[in-house]
Amino acid sequence: MSVRFRRYELRTTDVDGARAFYDAVLGRTDLAISPLPDSARARGAPAHWLGSLGPVDVAAESARWIAAGATRLGPPGSPVLRDATGAAVSLTAEAGAADAGVALHVLNTRDVARAQQEYVERFGWSPAAPLVLPAPYGALPAFSFVSGEPAKVAIADVSARHEVHVHWLHFFGTSSLDAALEAVQRNGGEVFGVVARPDGRRGAMCHDPQGAAFGWME
């Protein structure tokens, strides 16, 4: 069974406020939303979406990641890791996929080659046609979880964009980007520009009112 993102959890500074926001902009109340852990706050971590990759043997896979340079986040046995490039991710033994409406996962990293070793080579993801975006993004290496499936992952080199921290950015799918972005702004979120692909599909990066980054993909 292929290793892919199986579930998503929003860790936030205001659970009730976040629930109201995503209910308004996504039209759903079934998302996993929890308080940002005290240990994460102490590290200066902002509110964020955390994706879980699986199915894996969590203990064994965690040990392999840590041996390769990852850091465990949380108490002993925690499945949450900071990978060797600095991005937070979680591991899970679960095989079922959560229907969170995520259409694309973009890893913003300062070490593309290391990131490909961490994820693509380790989990056997299949190369796909690059995700071509306008400057300053360029053509991003893209991958499908299984050969023949649509590309669901892209890796962005942010080594020259110091304002962008290393992280996984999860893009929700929408049939109308304009309506989605209007809903974000109307409910207290922020929009950080719209990018258009050569095929006409558009996407945008956003922050929710608590500062958690997410994206929209049309």
Give percent of the chain above pLDDT 90: 82
pLDDT of residue 207: 97
Quick: pLDDT tens for 72-113.
998 999 999 999 999 999 999 999 877 789 999 999 999 999
If you average pLDDT over every residue of the chain, what do you get?
A: 94
pLDDT of residue 25: 97
β-sheet with 190-196: strand ranges across: 126-132, 139-144, 153-157, 102-109, 167-173, 213-217, 202-207, 190-196
pLDDT of residue 121: 94
Residue 138: band (very low, low, confident or very high) from pLDDT cuts 50, 70, 90: confident
Label the pairing between strands 71-72 and 153-157.
unpaired
Residue 3: exposure state from Cβ atoms within 10 A (0-12, 13-18, ≥19): buried
Separation of alpha carbons 184 and 177, rounded Å: 10
Closest CA to 121 of 98, 73, 155: 155
What CATH number has the domain bearing residue 43?
A: 3.10.180.10
Q: Say if residues 208 and 218 touch (Cβ distance below 8 Å).
A: no
Angle CA 117–119–120, to nearest 5 = 75
Separation of alpha carbons 42 and 20, rounded Å: 26
pLDDT of residue 99: 72
**pLDDT at residue 136 greater than cutoff 80:** no
Residue 18: exposure state from Cβ atoms within 10 A (0-12, 13-18, ≥19): buried
Residue 1: band (very low, low, confident or very high) from pLDDT cuts 50, 70, 90: confident
Question: b/e string for 32-69 if b means 16 or more Cβ within 10 A?
Answer: ebeebbeebeeeebbbbbbbbbbbbebeebbeebeeee
Q: Which domain holds residue 12?
A: 4-217
Separation of alpha carbons 140 and 109, rounded Å: 12
Quick: pLDDT tens for 148-184.
999 999 999 998 888 888 999 999 999 999 999 999 9
Task: State the total domains in the chain.
Answer: 1
